[in-house]
């Protein structure tokens, strides 16, 4: 009996020493919360604060919404927004189309398929800076392969600097961006295609469905959720794609390749206008958030339509 009483006493003491369950739960998630706070929340809050300031190397002064008002009035900024969306839609569209074609070819039962799968990777695997320097040479008017080939084939009259003219610089940058971004889209779509049960194709074949019919009625619907997710991710990355443009053209010539992210960098870092740069950054966040919301709504619909297994 005494032993039992003692045991109860010990148990009660231990119980009192224990933290409440909720505390324990908070402790478990605390590292993650601190991490997110430091990496995401604080910089974001700081950027929002800065966007209401006129800030340079000399100091800060509160100006209210003046930075935003300036941007909304600026025709140049409007052009940049339109150019950024055009850049994004064109580049993502090309990446998805090429990725789909690439994945379909890599998924086909052809000899040496494993080798081709490896050969797709380099644009994605090698550092972007190195790849872009390669493209700089390709686009060079005097030493570049493209200009040289164009002249040999009689398409060009003389040396052509691809990055020196507004239109050609913009589309050249798109080509490089697509070159970098396509392999990953290809591999994701390939993985999705490989997840489609072989039985579905065989059943369709037994029923007389040809290749194109099977692709249209089985492959595309089956990979649709991945295709849509890929489109969203790729859109965000392309929207924020900075290194490629910066290395190739630094946003030029005459702003022809300046997208929102390049504009923000030029304003905040090159011109030391931290407040105006922050206002641009906040607008990027808002635009991307809106875009993502619309997209997620669409994604949900697609998943409901195609995702029922």
Partner 1 sequence: MATLDLENICKSFGPAKVLHDIDLAIRDKEFVVFVGPSGCGKSTLLRIIAGLEEATDGRIVIEGRDVSREDPVDRGISMVFQSYALYPHLTVFENIAFPLRVQKMTQQDVNQRVNRAAEILQLTDKLTLKPGQLSGGQRQRVAIGRSIVREPKVFLFDEPLSNLDAALRGDMRVELSQLHRELNATMVYVTHDQVEAMTMADRIVVLNGGRVEQFGSPMELYHHPATKFVAGFIGQPNMNFVPGTVVEANGDGVAIDTVDGARLVLPVDRAGVSTGDAVEIGIRPEDVRLGDGLGLNIRVLERLGGVSIAHGALSDGTRFCASLDGNARIEEGVPVGLTVDPACAHVFKADGTVLRRQAAPALVA
Minimum distance from residue 116 beta carbon to partner 1 (Å): 23
Shorter beta-carbon distance to partner 1: residue 171 or 201: 201
What the block records as the tokens of 121 is: 């990777």
309 binds partner 1 (CB under 8 A): yes
Contact positions with partner 1 (CB under 8 A) in 101-160: none
Shorter beta-carbon distance to partner 1: residue 122 or 307: 307
Shorter beta-carbon distance to partner 1: residue 43 or 307: 307
Q: What is the DSSP track for 29-53?
A: HHHHHHHHIIIIIHHHHHHHHHTTE
# of chain residues touching partner 1 (CB under 8 A):
21
**φ, ψ (nearest 5 deg) of residue 40:** -115, -55
Query: Candidates 93-101, 152-160, 252-260, 301-309 — which segment interacts with partner 1 by CB under 8 A?
Result: 301-309
Query: Candidates 118-126, 146-154, 185-193, 202-210 — which segment interacts with partner 1 by CB under 8 A?
Result: 202-210
Q: Name every residue whose Cβ is closer than 8 Å to that of residue 151 and which is 6 or more positions away in sequence.
A: 157, 158, 159
Shorter beta-carbon distance to partner 1: residue 218 or 232: 218
Nearest C-alpha neighbor of 168 from the set 147, 183, 191, 199: 147
Minimum distance from residue 198 beta carbon to partner 1 (Å): 9
200 binds partner 1 (CB under 8 A): yes
Q: In the chain, which ranges are continuous DSSP H helix?
A: 2-17, 21-36, 42-50, 66-73, 75-107, 113-119, 122-125, 128-139, 145-152, 166-194, 198-206, 211-214, 220-239, 243-248, 260-265, 274-306
305 binds partner 1 (CB under 8 A): yes
Contact positions with partner 1 (CB under 8 A) in 203-242: 203-209, 213, 217-218, 221-222, 224
Residue with tokens 């590292």: 31
Residue numbers at the binding site for partner 1 (CB under 8 A): 197, 199-200, 202-209, 213, 217-218, 221-222, 224, 305-306, 308-309
């Amino acid at each position: 009996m005494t032993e039992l009483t003692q045991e109860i006493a010990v148990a009660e003491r231990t119980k009192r020493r224990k933290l409440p369950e909720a505390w324990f739960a908070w402790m478990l998630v605390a590292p993650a919360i601190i991490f997110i706070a430091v990496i995401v929340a604080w910089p974001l809050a700081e950027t929002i604060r800065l966007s209401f300031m006129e800030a340079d190397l000399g100091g800060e002064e509160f100006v209210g919404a003046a930075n935003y008002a300036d941007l909304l009035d600026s025709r140049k900024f409007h052009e940049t927004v339109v150019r950024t969306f055009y850049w994004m839609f064109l580049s993502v569209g090309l990446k998805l189309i090429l990725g789909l074609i690439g994945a379909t070819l890599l998924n086909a039962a052809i000899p040496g398929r494993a080798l081709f799968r490896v050969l797709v990777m380099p644009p994605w695997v090698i550092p972007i800076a190195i790849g872009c320097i390669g493209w700089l040479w390709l686009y060079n008017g005097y030493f570049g392969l493209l200009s040289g080939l164009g002249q040999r084939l009689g398409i060009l009259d003389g040396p052509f600097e691809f990055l020196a003219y507004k239109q050609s610089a913009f589309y050249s940058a798109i080509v490089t961006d697509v070159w970098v971004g396509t392999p990953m889209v290809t591999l994701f779509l390939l993985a999705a295609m490989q997840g489609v049960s072989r039985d579905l194709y065989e059943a369709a074949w037994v029923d007389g469905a040809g290749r194109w019919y099977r692709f249209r009625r089985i492959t595309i619907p089956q990979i649709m959720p991945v295709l849509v997710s890929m489109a969203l991710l790729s859109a965000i990355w392309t929207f924020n794609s900075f290194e490629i443009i910066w290395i190739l053209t630094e946003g030029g010539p005459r702003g022809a390749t300046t997208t929102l992210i390049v504009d923000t960098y030029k304003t905040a870092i090159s011109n030391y206008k931290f407040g105006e740069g922050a206002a641009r950054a906040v607008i990027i966040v808002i635009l991307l958030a809106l875009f993502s919301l619309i997209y997620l709504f669409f994604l949900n619909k697609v998943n409901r339509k195609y995702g029922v297994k």
